[in-house]
Each structure stands twice: as C-alpha cells, then as structure tokens.
Amino acid sequence: MILMQTGAIFLDAYRELNAKKLFWITMVLSALVVLVCAMLGINKQGITFLWFELPFPVNSDMISPKLFYLTVFTSFGLGLWLTWIATILALVSTAGMFPDLIASGSIETVLSKPMSRTRLFLTKYLTGLVFMGMQLVVFCSGFFLLLGIRGETWQPGLFLAVPIVLAFFSFLFSVQVLLGLVTKSTIASLLLTLLFWLGLFGLNAADAILVSVRAASEIRLEDAQESLDNQIAIAERTVDRMRGKGEPIPGEADEPLPEGAANTLEAVNERIPRRAESLQEAQDAIPKRRVWSDRIFIAKTLLPKTGETIALLERNLISDEELDALMGDTTDTPEQFLGTMNDPRAQRRAQDIIRKRSITWVLGTSLAFEAIVLGICLMLFARRDF
C-alpha cells in the first residue's frame, strides 16, 4: 500500500514536470551539444570543425585525441552546458513543484489519503532529482560514445558526471524548495535561488583569486630568497679571491665599511641590501594575504561547494601530468610576470592547491548544508497549515 501510494505520487509529479515540455527541449539540446562536439576534431595540422580548420595553435602532436575530447567534455559539455544551461533549465522546470502544491489547494486532496507529510515531501523532492538525473544519463551516454568513436578511448569514468552533477544540482534545488515553501511563489523561489547561486559563484571566484595571489606571494618569497642567496654566494667568492691576492677587504683590519654597508659581504656586493629588502617585503606580504584566504575558506566550508564539486570529475578524468601538458611549459615565463598572478608557476600552484582539497571537505560539508536545509523544509512542510 505504501509503495503504491508513493509510486502514484512520484508518477503524478513526473507527469507534471514532463508536461512543461522543458524536459524534451533539454533532451534535444543535449543531443545537439553532443553532435556539435562530435563535429570537432584534431589532427597534425590543428583543430578542425567538419572540413574547416580552426586557427588554434594546437595539434595532435601536442595533445592526444583522448585528452582533446576529455577537455571538450570538461570545459564545454560539463563546464558550460551541464552546470549552467541545463541546470538553469532544470531549476525553471522544478521551481513550481512545491509552490503549486501548497498554493493551489491540491495538497488537501493529497493529504486526505493516509500518507505522512514527510513521505510526500521526500517523494516530490526525489522526483525533481530524477528529472535532472535522466538528462545527465542521456548526455553522458552520448559523450561516452563520442569519446569511444572519435577519441579512440572508452571512459566509463565519464558516468561519474551523473552523481557529481546531480549532487551539484541538489544543493541548489534544496535551497529552491525551501524558498518555495517560504514564499509560496514560483518566480520568487527561482530568482532567489539564482541569486544564491550567483553569490556562491562570486565566493568561489574570490577564493580562486586569493589562492592565486597567495601562491604568487609564496613564489615571490622563494625567488627573493634564492636571489639573495645567489648574491651572497657571489660576494663570498669575491672576498675569497681578494684574500687570495692579498687585496684589502672593506670592513677588515683598519679600513672602514662604506656608508650603508652592514657587513663585509654588502661592501663588496651592493646588490645584497636590495635583495634583502625585497625578501623582507615578500615576507611581510604573506600573512595579510593568508588571513583573507583563510576567511574565504571558512565561509566556503559553511556553504555548498558548487565549483569544487564539478571539478571532482576533472580530477578523475584528467591526471596531473595531462593537466601539465594542457597548461604548457613555464620555463620561458616573461620576467615581468614572475612572482605575479600572471606567472604560470603561480597559476599551476594555485590549481594544484584547489585540486588537492579533500573530497570529504568538498562533498561532506556541502551535503551537510543540504541536510540542514532539507531538515528545515521538512519542519515547515510537516507543521505549517497550508
């Protein structure tokens, strides 16, 4: 009896979503995205689209077809389509589930049956997740075939996108459900959810910037220390040569040090004080930047990690070595970029810091946030007289 009631509610909720046509629109668009990606190719001459050659300085000698299509999937298919456009369409489709239920009076008809409000709420909530999950299965199946046929590699790990993106969607969907119960308005819950998502995006961008700034500061400190050590070594060799030739050394015997020189080495190498000053400036900058980076990290810990959740799939599909191949060589970095955010070394270190954040922190704290939101939703749905 219980299973039949739950199944009936689930089916009714799914039919309601399906009737809005956005489900099939999203399906068609997902197929078109896969088709467009299949038209892309890479060979020894470069990147192609159908029979046209695109002006990108990348070819199959630089990256393999496998890495090329994985990059297309993570950057375009996952980074743009699934986590932005398809998610927005899914939020639009599911925004009215709970406001329509409690505002139209249909909840009285449902609750007239022997069914708990908790089971009703969870069934409707899972229906929204299934709606998004079906989109993900279709899209990932298409890209799986694309990688096997065009990229000459079969990647079952691609289907990890289904639970990962579904978790990402559930963080936003739970907030939308809460706002729908509070406002009883489809439009208000959708707009406020998008605003919340925009706030998470801004927080994630601030975190990425501060991690890059912190990495650049650490590299600048390392460069300053290395430069000072090199100048001291040069000065020591100069002093050794002067002593071997019997020449007078500033600061030794009765000869006074030049003005501004703190020791013998500074007297024979005037670059040492400047390098020491640069080192001190680099040391002073790190604590200030570390404080702000830590504050943003704490704020992110309390909220769902949408960006890092999606990045978990890239971690699984693209290795550190393949990521290095994509980022290119950093040995010829222009001098004006050294020790700045534009320094490829800083970008790579920042990327490494973010990629090494634990799955427990990324998913565990995000799911804890969702559990708290759903707990509040259940209390409102179970106790409020609609």
Per-residue pLDDT of the chain (386 residues; tens, 9 = 90+): 455 655 665 566 566 666 667 777 888 888 888 888 888 888 777 788 777 777 777 777 777 787 888 888 888 888 888 888 889 988 988 888 888 777 655 555 555 555 677 888 888 888 888 888 888 888 889 888 888 888 777 888 888 889 999 999 999 999 999 999 998 888 999 999 999 999 999 999 998 888 888 888 888 888 888 888 888 888 888 877 777 766 666 766 556 666 666 677 777 777 788 888 888 888 888 887 788 888 888 999 999 998 888 888 877 776 666 656 555 545 445 544 455 657 778 888 888 888 888 889 999 999 999 999 999 999 888 876 65
pLDDT at 173: 94
Residues linked to residue 41 through DSSP beta bridges, in sequence order: 48
DSSP run (H or E) holding 307? helix 306-317
pLDDT at 372: 95
Taking a C-beta distance cutoff of 8 angstroms, is the pair 150, 38 a contact? yes
DSSP H stretches of helix in 159-185: 161-183
Taking a C-beta distance cutoff of 8 angstroms, is the pair 125, 373 a contact? no
| 3-class DSSP assignment, residue 53 | strand
Contacts made by residues 317-322, CB under 8 angstroms, sequence distance 24+: 317/70, 317/73, 317/74, 317/155, 317/157, 317/158, 318/67, 318/70, 318/71, 318/74, 320/352, 320/355, 322/67, 322/70
pLDDT at 200: 93
Distance between CA atoms of residues 289 and 359, nearest Å: 25
Taking a C-beta distance cutoff of 8 angstroms, is the pair 221, 280 a contact? no
Distance between CA atoms of residues 120 and 125, nearest Å: 9
Task: Count each helix (H run) and each strand (E run) in the chain, helices first.
Answer: 16, 3
pLDDT at 253: 58
Sign of CA dihedral 349, 355, 360, 365: positive
Taking a C-beta distance cutoff of 8 angstroms, is the pair 227, 282 a contact? no
Tokens of 229: 């050590």
Across 248-360, where does the E strand assignment appear?
A: none
pLDDT at 336: 47
Across 64-189, where does the E strand assignment appear?
A: none
Across the chain, where does the E strand assignment appear?
A: 40-42, 47-49, 52-54
pLDDT at 167: 93
pLDDT at 101: 75
Tokens of 358: 């634990």
Please count the other Cβ atoms lying within 10 Å of the Cβ belonging to residue 261: 18
Phi, psi of 53 (to 5 degrees): -95, 130
Distance between CA atoms of residues 217 and 49, nearest Å: 41
Tokens of 143: 């890209």
Distance in Å from the first CA to the final CA of the chain: 26
Phi, psi of 138 (to 5 degrees): -65, -45
